[in-house]
């Protein structure tokens, strides 16, 4: 009887493990989109619920549909604008290069004062004097750089399309938020206990919302303000520079690195020095906004120390990419919570 019981228990365990592994393989292609959907649902839900409460639960389906359409439009329109701007600029440059009419402004003497300024000045002057000859002389470098650039750009645009898909899934999750929250709390309670499970779910929710406000929202603000400045100064490929600002802000690189080339280009193509100086001051201020906004927005309503959140965000991005902003911060927040509970319990003991 004991042997039969052990064999039966083993078969049950094997079937459960096999089912879990099978389901994991089936869901593997959708893990990224579902993870983003959960993050977006958690972040946007308070705003969505306010709209539902104001209009009424009886019209929740109609609100959800309009909310989905407006949200997708808010993402799709800027994405299309950036894509069309880069495509238009690239097509124009290739056409002008083919016709021999592409003109590159000559560098000023100030370029020589930059780091590696003499080399940059020599290449820039050579390209401005005869761009076709310069491209032929550096054909391999130009082709490799162009291939790498367009590959990266198409990858980013593909990510944006996936992000829009995740947003649609997130809105579906938000429409079923009550049952979803109840299920997650029950699962957490099964793992760590009745009270601790709900506390961890709430902490994870608050961490995600703080990271969205403190990192993504700040990155979007900096990108929008930068785009306005680039357009007003008449900077070529403003959409491309804006994308560079957004990427630097999201992956926690100094945004100043992204705007310095824009400032240099503005001085090179603009005759009015006063306007260029005003633009430079404006864009530097925009690039430094995160130093003031992040500490306020990240720490608001969050018990986890800000330094833990920063470490989780940066380490998460290095390990998992953009999704690591949230995975890293939530994992670090949970680890900090477990550590504090362990320390306090051993002190009490």
Instruction: Supply the pLDDT for residue 348.
Output: 46
C-beta of residue 197 within 8 angstroms of C-beta of residue 185: yes
What per-residue string of b and e applies to 322-348 under the rule 16 or more CB within 10 Å gives b? bbbbbbbbbbbbbebbeeeeeeeeeee
pTM over 0.85: no
Query: What is the 3-class SS of 56-93, one letter each residue?
Result: CHHHHHHHHHHHHHHHHHHHHHHHHHHHHHHHHHHHHH
Rg, the chain, Cα only: 26
- Spatial CB neighbours of 284, under 8 Å, sequence gap ≥ 6: 256, 259, 263
Regions in the chain scoring below 50 on pLDDT = 1, 347-349
* DSSP string for 121-133: HHHHHHHHH-HHH
Instruction: Supply the pLDDT for residue 21.
Output: 92
H/E run at residue 253: none
C-beta of residue 286 within 8 angstroms of C-beta of residue 259: yes
Instruction: Supply the pLDDT for residue 18.
Output: 92
What is the DSSP code (8-state) at residue 54? H
Structure tokens at 322: 């953009």
- Spatial CB neighbours of 335, under 8 Å, sequence gap ≥ 6: none
């Amino acid at each position: 009887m004991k042997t039969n019981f052990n064999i039966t228990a083993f078969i049950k365990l094997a079937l459960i493990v096999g089912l879990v592994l099978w389901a994991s393989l089936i869901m593997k292609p959708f893990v990224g989109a579902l993870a983003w959907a959960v993050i977006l649902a958690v972040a946007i839900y308070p705003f969505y619920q306010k709209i539902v409460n104001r209009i009424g639960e009886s019209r929740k389906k109609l609100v959800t549909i309009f909310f989905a359409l407006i949200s997708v439009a808010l993402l799709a329109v800027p994405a299309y604008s950036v894509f069309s701007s880069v495509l238009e600029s690239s097509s124009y440059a290739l056409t002008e290069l083919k016709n021999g009419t592409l003109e590159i402004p000559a560098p000023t003497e100030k370029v020589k004062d930059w780091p590696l300024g003499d080399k940059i000045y020599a290449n820039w002057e050579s390209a401005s004097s005869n761009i076709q000859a310069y491209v032929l002389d550096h054909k391999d470098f130009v082709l490799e750089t162009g291939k790498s650039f367009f590959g990266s750009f198409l990858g980013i645009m593909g990510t944006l399309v996936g992000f829009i898909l995740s947003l649609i899934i997130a809105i579906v999750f938000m429409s079923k938020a009550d049952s979803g929250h109840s299920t997650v709390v029950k699962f957490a309670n099964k793992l760590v206990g009745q009270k601790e499970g709900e506390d961890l779910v709430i902490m994870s929710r608050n961490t995600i919302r703080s990271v969205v406000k403190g990192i993504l929202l700040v990155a979007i603000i900096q990108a929008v303000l930068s785009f306005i400045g680039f357009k007003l100064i008449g900077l070529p490929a403003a959409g491309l520079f804006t994308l560079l600002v957004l990427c630097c802000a999201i992956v926690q690189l100094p945004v100043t690195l992204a705007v310095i080339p824009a400032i240099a280009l503005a001085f090179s193509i603009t005759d009015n020095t006063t306007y260029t100086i005003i633009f430079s001051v404006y864009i530097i201020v925009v690039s430094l906004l995160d130093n003031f906004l992040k500490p306020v927005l990240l720490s608001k309503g969050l018990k986890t120390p800000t330094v833990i959140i920063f470490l989780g965000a940066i380490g998460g991005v290095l390990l998992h990419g953009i999704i690591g902003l949230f995975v890293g911060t939530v994992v670090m927040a949970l680890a900090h919570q477990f550590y504090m509970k362990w320390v306090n319990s051993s002190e009490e003991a």
